[in-house]
Amino acid sequence: MNLTIDQKKEIEEQKLQNNKTKRAVSPELEKILYDAVPALDHGFVRVVDYMGDDSSIVQAARVSYGKGTKQVSTDSGLIKYLMRHWHSTPFEMCEIKYHIKLPIFIARQWIRHRTANVNEYSARYSILDKEFYLPSSKNLAAQSTSNRQGRGDVLEGKQAEEVLKLLKSDAERTYDNYETMLNERYDGSTINENKKGLARELARMNLTLNTYTQWYWKTDLLNLMNFLRLRADSHAQYEIRVYADIMLDTVKKWVPITYDAFMDYRVGGTEVSAKGKMIIQKIIKGENVNLETSGMSKREWNEIMTAFDLTDYLK
């Protein structure tokens, strides 16, 4: 991650702010506020603003449930209860805003989470940075043979070299031609004074999908957890998981009690279907179970056996 001098200066100035407020404050999050945490080869994640902390969730719940919430004696107990029973609105009372730099093909996955506010760098107005994602060699995975959207072994030797060379040379050439078509270089200098440049909104179409873009992305804690549950998961594409893992860490600093409940009930938990529940009940009772009469597919059967560490039952 190479921050420009301007960016470094801006971050430094932001971190020097020392304002007084009557609002709730999250001390651990304040410590890393504005910091650019590196992600992939040129990306970053920065928390640039937030609203509320664990106590804001409790406060909202107490407004809803009135004296009813006094039964649950502690903030931690209440937050766990809310998480376990899928109460959603109290978690919407906290809000966070990130500044993210990420490759376009990851931005396209990310934007599918619609309940968020976004301001993205516009390539209609401005020229994109000359930065593109190249996987490190240990992330250069082959197509999985068993899972159509998964990764298999890592490519090695000559083939790995070849792939990296192609990715690099194609990204560089298309960027150079982007500048040629614009008749302008990234730094704003004109290439040929006697020529016009192609409109930026057209020239950008020549760039490859690993080109970096950046955006401000703001969402509430509930929707952030929905995002992280999917994207910090082992089935998510590695490149988005890198971002999700960094953000998971900011959640831990921001709302530590909620983070613990989230890890227990969502990330570490599992769902069991009606059929699955019956199978587990039978196993506990020592009764026979078998795939054929379960009404499940083999894939589903194995998913539940794996979840409960029942390796002997795997098919």
Task: Please identify, using beta-carbon distances, which residue of 97 and 185 lies nearer to its own copies.
Answer: 97
Find all residues with CB under 8 Å of 298, minimum gap 6, and list them. Answer: 291, 315
Q: Measure the CA–CA gap between 10 and 4, rounded to whole angstroms.
A: 10
173 contributes a contact to its own copies by CB under 8 A: yes
191 contributes a contact to its own copies by CB under 8 A: no
Task: Please identify, using beta-carbon distances, which residue of 75 and 216 lies nearer to its own copies.
Answer: 216
Cα dihedral sign, 23-253-83-117: positive
289 contributes a contact to its own copies by CB under 8 A: no
Q: Measure the CA–CA gap between 274 and 76, rounded to whole angstroms.
A: 31
**Strands across the sheet with 117-120, in order?**
37-39, 43-51, 95-103, 212-220, 117-120
Q: Which of residues 110-169 bind its own copies (CB under 8 A)?
A: 111-112, 114-115, 117-122, 124-127, 133, 135, 140-144, 148-153, 155, 159, 163, 166-167
Q: Measure the CA–CA gap between 295 and 154, rounded to whole angstroms.
A: 36
List the one residue from 42, 103, 231, 248 that touches its own copies (CB under 8 A).
Answer: 103
30 contributes a contact to its own copies by CB under 8 A: yes
3-state secondary structure of 295: coil
215 contributes a contact to its own copies by CB under 8 A: yes
User: Which tokens belong to 37?
Assistant: 């945490």
234 contributes a contact to its own copies by CB under 8 A: no
Query: Looking at 112, 204, 231, 299, which residue is catalytic?
Result: 231
* DSSP bridge partners of 47: 98
- From the CB of 50, what's the least distance to its own copies, in Å? 7
List the one residue from 46, 102, 214, 231 that touches its own copies (CB under 8 A).
Answer: 214
265 contributes a contact to its own copies by CB under 8 A: yes
Give the interface segment with its own copies, choosing from 38-46, 109-117, 244-252 (CB under 8 A): 109-117
> Which amino acid, 76?
S
Q: Measure the CA–CA gap between 42 and 259, rounded to whole angstroms.
A: 28
Q: Measure the CA–CA gap between 244 and 235, rounded to whole angstroms.
A: 12
Residue 204 gets which letter from DSSP? G
Active site residue 231: yes
List the one residue from 1, 9, 12, 49 that touches its own copies (CB under 8 A).
Answer: 49
Q: Measure the CA–CA gap between 47 and 270, rounded to whole angstroms.
A: 30
Q: Burial, 74: exposed, middle or buried (Cβ in 10 Å; 0-12, 13-18, 19+)?
A: exposed
241 contributes a contact to its own copies by CB under 8 A: no
Q: Which of residues 56-95 bind its own copies (CB under 8 A)?
A: 56, 59-61, 63-68, 71, 77, 80, 84, 86, 89-90, 92-93, 95
250 contributes a contact to its own copies by CB under 8 A: no
307 contributes a contact to its own copies by CB under 8 A: yes
262 contributes a contact to its own copies by CB under 8 A: no
36 contributes a contact to its own copies by CB under 8 A: no
Would you please indicate which residues are annotated as catalytic (active-site) residues? 231
